[in-house]
Amino acid sequence: DTKTAVELLGEAKYEIMDAVVEQDGYAFIAIGRPETAGCYCKINSYLKEVITMLSDKFDYVVIDGEAGIEQINRRVMEKVTHLLLVTDASKKGCQVVQTIKKVADELVMYDRIGVIANRIPDMEVAKLMDIGDLELLSVIQSDSKLAQADVLGENVFNLPDDAIIVEGAKKALVNMGIL
């Protein structure tokens, strides 16, 4: 059974749009690791197209890429206004965000870039982090409410406004000039 390119494109767009979560005034799409083997060049091209479509419909489009530099190297995100990098306190994580910045400086057009330190046990640990010349936008300490919600498969968007992660995310958005 051979499908035409138009049929495949339509199916891919449907699958991608099905993965989009729409909330008040924004869309959220996770573009993570493929679940099957093979080349994802075409899918990445479709993702770029879908991201462009979404950016025409919303003031902000949040793209949650998998950890590491893969989405930058694949050029799925060629132009963004704000590039938020999330890391834990590990040396490897801090090195990865610095590498992402170097690669993004070459491959991505962006207005602002910054780091959110996530799942940090305490502020003393945060002070030890080396993120180079990147701006630290927010330190989000470990949160048992978030861990419990995650174990139960609950939606992060349903957390209360006073949840540590919600307050930390808002602080990062304020520091980035988004809110």
pTM above 0.85, yes or no: no
Domain boundary among the residues 11, 31, 66 is at: 66
For the cut 80, the answer to whether the pLDDT of residue 57 exceeds it is: no
What letter would DSSP give residue 114?
A: E
Q: Which two tokens stand for residue 39?
A: 């080349």
Nearest-angstrom CA–CA distance, 115 and 55: 23
Domain holding 136: CATH number?
3.40.50.300
pLDDT of residue 25: 65
Domain that holds residue 131: 72-179
Does residue 2 sit in the same domain as residue 62? yes
Nearest-angstrom CA–CA distance, 67 and 99: 12
Nearest-angstrom CA–CA distance, 19 and 168: 26
Number of domains composing the chain:
2
What letter would DSSP give residue 158?
A: G
Nearest-angstrom CA–CA distance, 160 and 156: 9
Least confident of 31-35, 69-73, 155-159: 31-35
pLDDT of residue 85: 95
Does residue 59 sit in the same domain as residue 16? yes
Q: How confident is the model at residue 31 (pLDDT cuts 50, 70, 90)?
A: low
Residue 62's SS3 state is strand
Nearest-angstrom CA–CA distance, 159 and 146: 8
For the stretch 107-148, pLDDT in tens is 989 999 999 999 999 999 999 999 999 999 999 999 988 889
Does residue 94 sit in the same domain as residue 163? yes
For the stretch 84-104, pLDDT in tens is 999 999 999 999 999 999 999
